Amino acid sequence: MPLLEASGISKIFGKLTALDGAALTVGENEFHGLIGPNGSGKSTLMKCVAGAEVPTSGKVSFVNTDITAFTPTERARAGMSLKFQITSVLPSLTLYDNILLALQAQSSLLDLVFSRTRRALHDQAMTMLTQFRLADRAHDAAANLSHGQQQWLEIAMALAGKPRLLLLDEPTGGMSLEERRVTGELLQPIKQHCSLVIVEHDLDFIRDICDRLTVLDQGKVLASGTIAEIQANNSVQEIYLRRA
Amino acid sequence: MGAAEQAVARLSEGPDVVTGEDEPAASVPARRPTAGRKVLPIVEGLVLLTALLLPLVLQDYLTVFATRVVILALFALSFDLVWGYAGIMSFGQALFFGAAGYGVALLARDLNVTSILLILPAGMLIGLTAALLLGGFLLLGRYPSSVIFVSLGTLTGSYAADRLARGWYYLGGQNGIPSIPSMTLGSIDISEGPVYYYLALGILVVVYLLCRFLVRSQFGLALAGLRENEQRIAFFGYKVQHLKAIVFAVGGTIAGLAGSLYAFHEGFVWPNMLGVVFSTQVVLYVLFGGSGTLIGAVIGTVIIEGVSFWLSDNYREVWPIILGVLLLLVIMFRPLGLISFLLGERERVGHFGKTPKEKRNAAP
C-alpha cells in the first residue's frame, strides 16, 4: 500500500484548468520528483496534496486515510509536512525559536503556557540546527541568514514534527551550486524515516536524489516511473528533457 | 529600528558580532545576544515606581484622573494581547469593557451587589462570555478567518452594542446608568481617591505580570508565529483558530475586569463605553506606545490621556487637532510606537520559556 495516493486531481481557477485529472503515488521511504515545464501544474498538485489548495475534484489518500477534506492542520497532525516555495521562516525570531516553534506545534495548551516541553525540546532543536549546519547561528534572527540558509532552516522546520511525508516546493531555488550540493547531502539521511515529494527545476539535482519521477504537462501526468524509465520515454524527451 | 541604528546596536553587542552576516560563522561558538537586553526591566521598574509615588505628590482631583488612566491602561493591555501579540485585529474591544461595565452597574442598581469580591469576578465573567460568543462566531471556522472579517465583525459588534444600549430603556438609553454606589469590601467603602488608585494599580500590576508570564512562555512563541505567519504555523499542526479564540477570550476577560473597575470608579456607565469611541481609543493607546510590548500599551495610555488632559486645559478649542497630528507623526515615523526609542528589535521580540541550564553555561 503506498504512503500517498492522489488520483483524478483537477483544479480549476476560473477559466484556467491548472490540473486535469493528475495523479501521484508515493511509497514509503521513497524520494519522488515532480517535474514538468513551467505552468504544468507541479506546484498546484503539491498544494492540493498539502491542503493549501482544495482540489475541484479528485481524491487524496495518506496512510490509508482519505484526507481530501482535511485542513492543513489536520494533515500536519496526520504526518504530512510542507516547505513552501517562498521562504516563510519567521524573520524576527531567532533560528532557535523558529525551530522550537515548529517542534512544539503539537504540545498541549497547558504545556505551552507553563513552558513544560521547553527542556525536552531543547536538545532536539540543537540537534536539528547542527544537522542543518546552522547551530552556530542559533541565536541570530532568521532575517540575517543568507537565502540558502533560510531554505535549510525551512527544511529543518518542516522536518521538526517528524513527518512521514515531506513536500518540498523548489528547495534549491536561488541557491548557489555549492548550496545545492549541500542541500542534497542534508536530505539523504531523512530517507530512513520519511518519504519526499520534491518539485524542482534543477534536473541534475532531481536525478541525484530521487528514486522515481512523475512528469506533468498541461495539468496531466505525462509519465511516471523510475529515472531510467523516464529518461527512455520519448514523449518526455520531446516536451522536457530535450529543452532542459 | 532603522538599518543604521540596527548596525550601531549590533556593533555595541561586543566583538563577536563583527563576524558579519554573510560569513559562514562556523568557528563562532553559539552565543546569546546580550546588548540592550536589560532596558525593558528598567523601564518597567521606573514606570512602577512613578505610579507608586504619584498619589503622594498629586492633588486629589489629579489622583482621580490618574486612577482613570490606570484602569484604561488595563483595558489597553487587553487589546495589546489580542492585537499586538496574537495579531487579531479587534476593532471592538470596548464591547467587552462596556458590557462588563453595564453588567456590574445593573448588579449594583437592581440587586444591591457592591462587594468587590463579587463585582470584579462578575465583570471578568461577562467579558469572558461576550468574548467567547463573539470570538466563537468570528474565529472558530473550519478555516482561519480573514483579517477583514474579524476587524469588521468586532467593529460591528461594538457598534451594535452601543446602538442597543442607546435604545434600551432598561439600560437607561442615551443617559446610561447613573449614580452607581461605591464598591465595598465588607463594611469599607472603596471610593475614588488614593484607595481606589492603589486598588486599580495593584490589579494592573498583577494582570501585567500574568500577561508577561504568558507572552514569554512557549505559548507566547506560538502567538508570535500566529502574528507573523498564521498560515505557516497551521502547516506545522497548530490549531490556529483555537489559539486565537483563547487569546481573544483572555483579552475579553481583562477588558471586562477593566470595565467593571471603570464603571464603579466613574459612578456611571453610558453607551460610549461599549462603542466605537472607546474601541478606537484603545487602538490608539497601543499604537502610540508600541504594540507587542506590554509596557508600550501602558505608556501609550498614560501619555495620550496625560497630553489630552493638559491640552484640553490649555488649548480649549484646538487640542483634538494637536493631539491628532501628534498621533499621526508617531504612527508615520515610529510604527513600532514610542517604546521603540528605548527598546531594540531583539529585546522587543524576546525569548520564550526558560533557557535550559546547559545552554546558559555554554554562552560566553
Per-residue pLDDT tens for B48-73?
Answer: 999 999 999 988 889 999 999 999 99
Q: How many CA atoms lie within 13 A of A50 on its CB side?
A: 29
Asked whether the CA dihedral A203, A205, A207, A209 is positive or negative, the reply is: negative
Q: Is residue A17 part of a domain?
A: yes
Same-domain status, A75 and A100: no
Mean pLDDT of the B170-189 span: 90
Question: B231 is written with which cell numbers?
Answer: 498560515
The answer, for A59 touching chain B at a CB cutoff of 8 Å, is: no
Question: pLDDT at position B24, please?
Answer: 40
Query: Chain B within 8 Å of A97 (Cβ-Cβ)?
Result: yes
Q: Is residue B121 part of a domain?
A: yes
Report d(CA B291, CA B286) in Å as an integer.
5
Q: How confident is the model at residue B20 (pLDDT cuts 50, 70, 90)?
A: very low
Number of CB atoms found within 10 A of residue A167's CB: 28
Q: Can you tell me the ipTM of this complex?
A: 0.89
Per-residue pLDDT averaged across A227-231, rounded?
Answer: 87
Write the residue in B143, B217, B237 that is nearest to A105 by C-beta: B237
More confident residue, A156 or B2: A156
CA A227 to CA A102: how far, in whole Å? 33
Grid cell for residue B25: 560563522
Sheet with A4-13, strands from edge to edge, namely A16-26, A4-13, A57-62, A65-66
Q: Which of A73, A75, A118 sits opposite B354 (nearest CB)?
A: A118
- The pLDDT score that the predictor gives to residue A9 is 93
Contact at CB, A93 and B349, closer than 8 angstroms: yes
The bridge status of strand A31-35 relative to strand A57-62 is unpaired
Residue A157 lies in a domain: no
pLDDT at B284 over 50: yes
Residues of A in contact with B211 (CB under 8 A): none
What's the residue count for chain A? 244
pTM of the model: 0.87
Retrieve residue B236's grid coordinates: 506545522
pLDDT at A73 over 80: yes
Q: Which residue has the cell 549541500?
A: A182
Give the whole-angstrom CA distance, residue B77 versus residue B208: 8
Is residue B98 assigned to a domain? Answer: yes
Chain B contact for A85, CB < 8 A? no
Looking at residues A130-149, what average pLDDT do you find?
A: 90
Assess if residue A50 is contained within a domain.
Answer: yes
Is residue A153 a part of any domain in this protein?
Answer: no
How many Cβ pairs within 8 Å bridge chains A and B? Answer: 123
Let me know if residue B107 belongs to a domain: yes
> Least CB-CB distance to A97: which of B21, B238, B352?
B352
Q: Please list every residue in chain B whose beta carbon sits closer than 8 Å to the beta carbon of residue A115.
A: 217-219, 352-354
| Cβ–Cβ gap A100/B221 under 8 Å | yes
Q: For chain B, give the percent of residues with pLDDT over 70.
A: 87
Q: Would the pLDDT of B34 be above 60?
A: no
Q: Do the bridges between strand A57-62 and strand A4-13 make them parallel or antiparallel, or are there none, so unpaired?
A: antiparallel
Question: How many whole angstroms separate alpha carbon A192 and alpha carbon B86?
Answer: 37
Q: Which three three-digit cell numbers place residue A2?
A: 503506498
Query: pLDDT grade, residue B364 (50/70/90)?
Result: very low
What would the pLDDT profile of B215-244 be if each residue is shown by its tens digit? 999 999 999 999 999 888 999 999 999 999
Indicate whether A84 and A130 sit together in one domain.
no
Return d(Cα B317, Cα B282) in angstroms, integer. Answer: 23
Nearest Cα residue to B262 out of B351, B148, B183, B161: B183
Is it the case that residue B279 has pLDDT exceeding 90? yes
Residue B270 lies in a domain: yes
Identify the residue among B1, B236, B354 best suited for mutation to test binding to A, counting A beta carbons within 10 A and taking the highest.
B236
Element at B212 (helix H, strand E): helix B194-215
How many angstroms away from the CA of B252 is the closest CA of chain A?
18
Secondary structure (3-state) at B66: helix
| CB-CB contact of A205 with A180 (8 Å) | yes
E strand or H helix that includes residue B121? helix B116-139
Higher pLDDT, A44 or B317: A44
> A residues 120-179 near B, CB within 8 Å?
122, 126, 135-139, 141, 144, 146, 157, 160-161
Same domain, A46 and A114: no
Residues A93, A146: Cα–Cα separation, whole Å: 15
Residues A183 and A213 in one domain: yes
Mean pLDDT of B287-307: 94
Q: Do A84 and A45 share a structural domain?
A: yes
Which residue in the set B26, B143, B359 is minimally distant from A136, CB to CB? B26
Residue of B nearest to A144 (CA): B21
Count how many domains chain B has.
Answer: 1
The pLDDT mean for chain B works out to 86
| In-domain check, residue B285 | yes
| Within a domain: B19 | no
Instruction: Give the count of beta carbons closer than 10 Å to the beta carbon of residue A178.
Output: 9
Q: Of A71, A107, A146, which has the smallest distance from its Cβ to B142's Cβ?
A: A71
Residue B35 has pLDDT above 80, yes or no: no
φ and ψ of A112, to 5 deg:
-70, -45
pLDDT at B6: 44
- Answer for the pair A235, A228: CB distance below 8 angstroms, yes or no: no
Q: Which residues of B touch A97 (CB under 8 A)?
A: 221, 224, 351-352
Read off the pLDDT of each residue in B292-308 and give the average, rounded to a whole number: 94
Asked if A101 and B32 come within 8 Å (Cβ–Cβ), the reply is: no
d(CA B265, CA B259): 10
User: Region A140-169: what's the mean pLDDT?
Assistant: 91
Residue A113 has pLDDT above 70, yes or no: yes
Is the CB of residue B317 less than 8 Å away from at least one CB of chain A? no
Range of the domain at B251: 34-351
**CA distance between the termini of chain B:** 26
Q: Are residues A171 and A83 in the same domain?
A: yes
For residue A25, give how far its alpha carbon lies from the nearest alpha carbon of chain B (Å).
21
**Same domain flag for A45 and A71:** yes
How much is the CA Rg of chain B, to the nearest whole Å? 22
The pLDDT, as a whole number, for residue A166 is 94
- Is there a single domain that holds both residue A78 and residue A171? yes
Shared-domain flag, residues A211 and A223: yes
pLDDT of residue B11: 36
Q: Which of A87, A110, A137 to mutate to test the interface with B (most CBs of B within 10 A)?
A: A137
- Say if residue B359's pLDDT is above 60: no
Q: What pLDDT score was predicted for residue B37? A: 56
Under the banding of pLDDT at 50, 70 and 90, the label for residue B161 is very high
Evaluate whether residue B136 is within a structural domain. yes
Sheet holding A165-169, edge to edge: A80-83, A165-169, A195-199, A31-35, A212-217, A220-226
Do A77 and A97 lie in a common domain? Answer: no
Are A97 and B224 within 8 A, CB to CB?
yes
Q: Is residue A110 situated within a structural domain?
A: yes
Q: Provide, as residue numbers in chain B, all residues whose Cβ is less than 8 Å from the Cβ of A113.
A: 214, 217-219
* Alpha carbons A47 and A55: distance in angstroms, whole number: 9
Domain count for chain A: 2
- pLDDT band for position B357 (50/70/90)? low
Torsion region of B113: left, alpha or beta (phi above 0 gives left; psi -120 to 50 gives alpha): beta
CATH code, domain carrying B59: 1.10.3470
Instruction: State whether A137 and A46 are in the same domain.
Output: no
Domain holding A109, by residue range, is: 90-144
Name the burial class of residue B25, with classes exposed (0-12), middle (13-18) and buried (19+) by CB atoms within 10 angstroms of its CB.
middle
Model confidence band, residue A87 (pLDDT cutoffs 50, 70, 90): confident
Average pLDDT, chain A: 89
pLDDT for B290 beyond 80: yes
Burial (CB count within 10 angstroms: exposed 0-12, middle 13-18, buried 19+), residue B56: exposed
Please write the tens of the pLDDT for every residue from B118-128: 999 999 999 99
Give yes or no: residues A139 and A23 share one domain.
Answer: no
Asked whether residue A72 is assigned to any structural domain, the reply reads: yes
Query: Which residues lie across from A32 on neighbouring strands?
Result: A197, A212
Asked whether residue B255 is assigned to any structural domain, the reply reads: yes
